[in-house]
Structure formats: C-alpha cells, structure tokens
Amino acid sequence: MNLDEYSGIWVFLEVKDGKIAPVCLELLGAGRQMADKRGVPLAGLLIGYGVAPLAESVIPYGADVVYLYDEEIFRDYRTESFMRAVLECVEKHKPEIILYGATSTGKDLASAVATDLQTGLTADTTMLDVNAENGLLEASRPAFGGNIMATILCKKHRPQMATVRPKVMKALPPDPNRTGQIVRETINLREEDIRTKVLEIVRETKEKVRLDEADVIVAGGKGLGSKDAFELIHRFAEKIGATVGASRDAVEAGWIDHQHQVGQTGVTVTPKIYFAIGISGAIQHIVGMQNAGLIIAINKDPQAPIFQSSHYGIVGDAFEIVPMLMEAFQKMPDKEVQYGGKI
C-alpha cells in the first residue's frame, strides 16, 4: 500500500433529527486543527436522503469540502448501504484519516468499514493528535476499564480511523465567511442489494433519560443506604433542574433503573456540574464522569477515592448537607445562575 496516495482528513457527518449531530461539529473542530497541521484539506462525508441542505451548514465549522450522497436508498441508516458509500468514496478520494462520532451509528459504521478496508480503527477516542511530518494519527483512549490510557497508532494502513467520544473535542465558533465546496457523489446501489430493512423507528423521548446530554447531574451511590433514602437524590435533582445519575452499586441494589447508571457499564457523561453523593468512586464510575466540568463529592468517608477525582469535596452526611444545599439554592437570587436552565 502506497501511503502517500492518501491525503486529507475526513469526518463522517451523522444526521440526527434532521441536523448534523453535535459530535460531528466537534470533530470538524478537531479535524480542522489536524488538517492545518498537516497542510491538507478537511472534508465532511454526508450520506442520507434529503440531506443536501445540511451540506452547506458545516462549511462555517471548518470543512473545506463536503462529499454528498443524497439518495432514497439512504433514507434510514443501514450498515450495508452506508458502508458501500463510504467504501466507494474512500476508493475514489483516498483520505489519510477518517473520524466518526462514537455514537451507535458511528461505531457500527466504522467497524464495518474498517474490516472491508483492512485498516486500523481506534474506539472511543478521547484525545487526538496528528504528527505533522509522517501523518500518523495519535488516537488515545481509556483502556482496561479506565485503568490506563493508551495511544494507538496505525502505521502501515490507510485511512487511519477512529471513533471519538462526544463532548471531548471542541467545535469551532461558526465562521459565516468561510467558503467550501460541495461535491455530489452518486452510487449504483439498488434496494435489492441491501439485506436489511428498517420497518419502524420508535422514539421514546418522554421517559428517556438523556444523561449524556445533561448539563447538571446529581448522582447517588451505595452510601445513601436504601431505596427510600435515594429519594433525596431525586428531590435535589428536581430542585436544581438536574438529571439523576447513579453508581452501579445503587443500580444493582435496585434503587434506580439501569438507564441512570454512570460509568463503564453505564453511560459516559460530560455535564458541566456533577454531584457525586454517597459514591465511593470506583474507577469504573470515574471513567464515566471524569470529564465533567466541575465535580463535587459529598461523602461521609474521608478516605473515599471519589475525593481524589473531584474538584471539591465535602466530608459529611448527605442527609445533612444536601437539604442545606437545597435551601441555599432556594435562596439564590432568581435567574442569577442558570445551570440546568431551571434554577
């Protein structure tokens, strides 16, 4: 494989609810920096049906080019159809790097594409860099349940690929004066060639807990002692407009549903504020919340490891401290602080 034939950095542009998924704008921000370092163009790859109007929208975020596949066969995301488009586009334009959001769709697509291209794919990357000279992508990620960080390289295969966690890279402020090019691509793909069909999409927006999108999370752990006591977490969260999180222990004790679980076997979260209440701070929990903007721990046990991983800690009884906090929030002048939008 002649590595020099491959040039340019791509971001797979996932469409979510009729918009470009936020993580893809973040990847354009990171991709722009790497493209400048390398002196190569940054391209978006947009696949869908009726998505053409979105192509222009990513130029202000840093893309020089958008490769656009807009055809009915791409109405629903399906691994096989989207993969065919990515493979054809790679074959044609030969990028050196492709980044995907580490979403269900991004991970599904990237895994399939990597196998067909027989190239390296780094999962759930949280740090990205590129070597300006040799073009090696340095993709770093937590490994072994967050016990270590590892930097992964793919030296002899192109394109180098990575899925990247949402909310760890920064989108650029949109620059309306930026210009770019939309390249329309076509593909010879018939419905009969695709072995899967989406029969129905069911949105569960009402009850669904979106921890990954929450700005403020109040999370409770085993230290609370019982399901009844866990009510305190719900009350505090409701008071300040936060989303309720939980440690694995609290979930396994049956105090709260699994969809609230933060950590390795739960959800990875990046809120602006994270309250860890009665959570001891096992590494599996820490990896799920360590990128929060401000971590506040409340725990009776002064030795609890959570204090090592928090910005501010209060050693004390949650049942004394939390009600006092609630009262203090109550007294706050209206609208002076708008964390979850509710305070």
Partner 1 sequence: MVLGSEEGKAMLHIVACIKQVPDTKIIKMNPRTNTMDRSSAPAILNPYDAHAVEEAVRLKQRYGGVVSVVTMGPPPAVKAIRKCVEIGADEGYLITDRAFAGADTLATSYALTKGIEKISEIRPVDLVICGKMTIDGDTGQVGPGIARRLDIPPLTNVNKVAEVNRDEGYVIVHRKLEDGYEVIKSTLPCLFSVEKEINEVPYSPLPNMLRAARYQPVIWAVNDLGEIDRTLLGLKGSPTIVAKVWPPEKPKGGERLEGTANEQVSQLMEILQEKKGLFRVKEEQV
- Scanning residues 65 to 94, which ones bind partner 1 (CB under 8 A)? 76, 79-80
Question: Which among 29, 62, 270 is positioned nearest to 165, based on CA atoms?
Answer: 270
Nearer to partner 1, 115 or 186 (CB): 115
Nearer to partner 1, 2 or 39 (CB): 2
Please name the residues in contact with 96: beta carbons below 8 A apart, sequence gap of 6 or more.
3, 6, 7, 8, 9, 38, 40, 135, 158, 159, 160
* 137-138-144-148 Cα dihedral, nearest 10 degrees: 180
| Total of chain residues touching partner 1, rule CB under 8 A | 101
- Does residue number 335 form part of the binding site for partner 1 (CB under 8 A)? no
Nearer to partner 1, 39 or 296 (CB): 296
Binders of partner 1 in range 264-293 (CB under 8 A): 264-265, 272-273, 282, 284, 287, 290, 293
Q: How many CB atoms lie within 10 A of CB 291?
A: 16
Per-residue b/e over 312-323, b at no fewer than 16 CB within 10 Å? Answer: ebbeeebeebbe
- Does residue number 153 form part of the binding site for partner 1 (CB under 8 A)? yes
Stretch that binds partner 1, among 44-52, 181-189, 218-226, 322-330 (CB under 8 A): 322-330
Stretch that binds partner 1, among 63-71, 179-187, 222-230, 301-309 (CB under 8 A): 301-309
Residue 341 Cβ vs partner 1, minimum distance, rounded to whole Å: 5
Question: Which among 120, 252, 228, 104 is positioned nearest to 166, based on CA atoms?
Answer: 104
Nearer to partner 1, 79 or 189 (CB): 79
Contact criterion met (CB below 8 Å) for 240 and 337 = no
Nearer to partner 1, 147 or 186 (CB): 147
Nearer to partner 1, 33 or 160 (CB): 160
Q: How many CB atoms lie within 10 A of CB 110?
A: 24
- Does residue number 338 form part of the binding site for partner 1 (CB under 8 A)? yes
Per-residue CA distances from 103 to 68, 164, 286 (Å): 21, 8, 20
CA distance 51 to 67: 12
Nearer to partner 1, 37 or 300 (CB): 300
Residue 278 Cβ vs partner 1, minimum distance, rounded to whole Å: 15
Stretch that binds partner 1, among 67-75, 183-191, 217-225, 310-318 (CB under 8 A): 310-318
Per-residue CA distances from 210 to 103, 267, 269, 284 (Å): 14, 9, 10, 20
Q: How many CB atoms lie within 10 A of CB 127?
A: 16
Tokens in use for 31?
């991709």
String of contacts with partner 1 for each residue 241-260, x by CB under 8 A: -----------------x--
Binders of partner 1 in range 115-144 (CB under 8 A): 115-116, 118-124, 138, 141-144
Q: How many CB atoms lie within 10 A of CB 8?
A: 20
The three-state secondary structure class of 219 is strand
Q: How many CB atoms lie within 10 A of CB 112?
A: 18
Stretch that binds partner 1, among 42-50, 88-96, 220-228, 335-343 (CB under 8 A): 335-343
Residue type, 281: G
Stretch that binds partner 1, among 51-59, 67-75, 88-96, 185-193 (CB under 8 A): 51-59
Stretch that binds partner 1, among 38-46, 89-97, 200-208, 220-228 (CB under 8 A): 200-208
